[in-house]
Structure 1
Amino acid sequence: MSKKNRAILCVDDDPMILMSLKLQLTQSFDGQFVIETAESGEEALELIEFLVDRDIDTLLIISDWLMPKMKGDELLVHVKNKFPKVAQIMLSGQAENEAVENAFKNSNLKYFISKPWNKTDLLKKVNEALQN
């Protein structure tokens, strides 16, 4: 599969967080993946469908928890139900314990990372999630 046919999707309602994540992932993976961003759960689901239609596999979703309308754990459960092979990481500074437990139990959540994140730790967990 071509490198251009694999994507990592970052979801957060804060554009500055998305910009930081995209920059770190782009620098670290040097073109191995398409790095996409979405500012809501609804936008993320639409974007995954868009990528699927273009034969681009979303391998990993990195999602915030506290977002308007659809919380991160809800999004991750939807993604698992519709796209069961997509690995997941939750990156949040305000997630409720019940929400994180729900995501671990009912989605493909591999890791929970607290904001502000450590770049080395994030990249290590991204690599691990992509290999599983």
Structure 2
Amino acid sequence: MDKGFIVCVDDERAVIETLREQLLRFFGETHEVEVANSGEEGLQLVKDIMQQGGSVEVVITDQVMPGLKGDELLEEVHRLLPETIKILLTGQAGLRDAIDAVNRGGLNLYVEKPWNMDEIYVDIERLIVRYRENVENHRLLRMLEQRVQELEEQVKDF
């Protein structure tokens, strides 16, 4: 299987570099880890990966950033890629932001800063397994639907 992509978005360089290093340590064998410094840059990165045929499996974003906020980014990602795992990582967001991210952005996991990668690794791994199972199920369903259509055509011609 091709490597999936994990996209990380945070406007603080130290945070994004630490997160990238930790994710590579845990997921580097199975995933490419890409980073962006703003919500707008993160959204463009997701679109670029999609256009190149890559699979954006996880988006991890901070909430409080200049411009496009984390919950707004997740809402856009959810519109483009509803199956993608969406994680809000923040030290400043309030309950309203978390509720908005869940309701509009299909949030899968809410993590408060400072995070413990050993703890959230298990959650992310579980979500990735579920994501890949869903992708495979959709692929098999499309194959089955195509086969049913072929058989219906054969019955018509019979």
User: What TM-score, normalized to structure 2?
Assistant: 0.79
Structure 2 equivalent of residue 48 of structure 1: 46
Q: Distance in 2 between matches of 1:38 and 1:26?
A: 15
| 3-state SS of 1:18 partner | helix
1:25-52, Cα deviation, whole Å (9 max, x unpaired): 1111232101000111110111011111
**Alpha-carbon offset, residue 101 of structure 1:** 0.3
Taking only aligned residues, the RMSD between alpha carbons, in angstroms, comes to 1.0
How big is the shift at 1:123?
1.0
| Relative contact order higher in (CA < 8 Å, ≥ 6 apart) | 1
Segments of structure 1 that go 5 or more residues without pairing to the other structure are none
Alignment match, 1:12: 10
Q: Percent of counterpart pairs with the same letter?
A: 32
Residue 8 of structure 2 is aligned to residue 38 of structure 1: no
**Counterpart residue number, 1:74:** 72
**Structure 1 moving runs of 4+ over 4 Å:** none
Aligned to 1:101: 99
Q: Residue 59 of structure 1 aligns to a residue in which SS?
A: strand
What number of residue pairs does the alignment pair up? 130
**One-letter amino acid of the counterpart of residue 34, structure 1:** E
Contact 1:80 1:86 in 2 (8 A): yes
1: CA distance, partners of 2:87 / 2:119: 12
Q: Give 3-state SS (helix, strand or coil) of 1:13's partner.
A: coil
CA distance in 2, matches of 1:9, 1:125: 16
1:119, 1:87 → 2: CA distance?
A: 17
Contact 1:88 1:129 survives alignment (8 Å): no
Q: Which amino acid aligns with 2:41?
A: E
Q: Give the distance between the partners of 1:129 and 1:40, measured in 2 at CA.
A: 24
Q: Which has the larger radius of gyration?
A: 2
Q: Deviations over 1:69-94 (max 9, x none)?
A: 11111111111012212111111000
The separation in 1 between residues aligned to 2:17 and 2:108, in whole angstroms, is: 23
Q: Is 1:29 the counterpart of 2:34 in the alignment? A: no
